[in-house]
Amino acid sequence: QKEVEQNSGPLSVPEGAIASLNCTYSDRGSQSFFWYRQYSGKSPELIMFIYSNGDKEDGRFTAQLNKASQYVSLLIRDSQPSDSATYLCAVESNNDMRFGAGTRLTVKP
Amino acid sequence: ETGVTQTPRHLVMGMTNKKSLKCEQHLGHNAMYWYKQSAKKPLELMFVYSLEERVENNSVPSRFSPECPNSSHLFLHLHTLQPEDSALYLCASSLTGFNTEAFFGQGTRLTVV
């Protein structure tokens, strides 16, 4: 059974801090990794994707992938109240996509 | 607006009813998906269509029946559902397969009574 695990949270950080979201996966053959943001009552939207080991930065967001340790993380710098949402980790392998249950992030003003 | 439109947004149906969910994408994508999202559970992939052919069926009960008449439209036909089928049903599309960004519709909130 391919598993994707996330801490459900809630994770609470003050405005301006760095929020760190983590995700582990069980299938070593996984190829593509995605972070989606889902606001309450809305559908998921893509924040970042990463395919290779290392870091990938996009604005305030940095995705980190470590295939040897089978984890992928998302860092949000200078967190804003508008970043408050549930963050879903998704892992693709062999034409199958598995999502984690999501981590709820709250950024307090 | 993501370019993926789902109707209806809300649906209440009895266990003996037959209803259909509709999804339409205007993005020129070749792959479309149905997902089920239940409270505090991961998104569950139900069906995948690539170039109008079904390529994945994750052991979904036969009371859910997908239909993809063309690359822009996807349906989920429902019949004799159970209360535990109550959930948010999300449609998504992507340019090719899973290794490309998926765009989600707003979902249909289904309640089975």
- In this predicted structure, the answer to whether residue A95 has a pLDDT above a threshold of 80 is no
Q: What DSSP designation does B101 have?
A: -
Maximum distance among all alpha carbons in chain B? 38
Cα–Cα separations (whole angstroms), residue B64 to A1, A27, B45, B57, B61: 23, 28, 13, 11, 6
- In this predicted structure, the answer to whether residue A58 has a pLDDT above a threshold of 90 is yes
- In this predicted structure, the answer to whether residue B102 has a pLDDT above a threshold of 70 is yes
User: Which pLDDT does position A11 carry in this prediction?
Assistant: 96
Distance CA A63, CA A58 (A): 8
What pairs with residue A99 in β-bridges?
A90
Residue A1 pLDDT level (bands cut at 50, 70, 90): low
Q: Are A89 and A47 in contact (CB under 8 A)?
A: no
Q: Which of B48, B98, B107 sits opposite A43 (nearest CB)?
A: B107
Mean pLDDT along residues B39-55: 87
| Residue B20 identity (one-letter amino acid) | S
User: Which pLDDT does position B99 carry in this prediction?
Assistant: 74
Nearest CA in chain A to B91: A43
B31-37 and B87-94 beta bridge pairing? antiparallel
Name the one residue in this structure whose structure tokens are 């695990």: A5
pLDDT more than 70, % of chain A = 98
Taking the alpha carbons of B95, B96, B101, B107 in that order, is the dihedral positive or negative?
positive
What pLDDT digit, counting tens, does each position of A11-42 carry? 999 999 999 999 999 999 999 999 999 999 89
What pLDDT digit, counting tens, does each position of B9-23 carry? 999 999 989 999 999
- In this predicted structure, the answer to whether residue B69 has a pLDDT above a threshold of 80 is yes
Mean pLDDT along residues B68-94: 95
Which residue from B23, B29, B27, B19 is spatially nearest to B98, judged by alpha carbons?
Answer: B29
- Kindly report the average pLDDT of chain A as a whole number: 94
Mean pLDDT along residues B30-40: 92
**Residue A79, both tokens:** 């967190």
Gyration radius (Cα) of chain A, Å: 13
Per CB-CB distance under 8 Å, the chain A contacts of B105 are 43
Q: Which of B48, B56, B104 sits opposite A44 (nearest CB)?
A: B104
Mean pLDDT along residues B37-59: 85
What pairs with residue A46 in β-bridges?
A36
Residues in chain B, overall count: 113
Taking the alpha carbons of A45, A51, A53, A59 in that order, is the dihedral positive or negative?
negative
* Rounded (10°) CA dihedral B77, B61, B111, B79: 40
Mean pLDDT along residues B70-98: 94
Q: Which of A8, A43, A95 sits opposite B104 (nearest CB)?
A: A43
Residue B83 pLDDT level (bands cut at 50, 70, 90): very high
Distance CA B85, CA B64 (A): 10
Distance CA B104, CA A39 (A): 13
Nearest CA in chain A to B58: A96
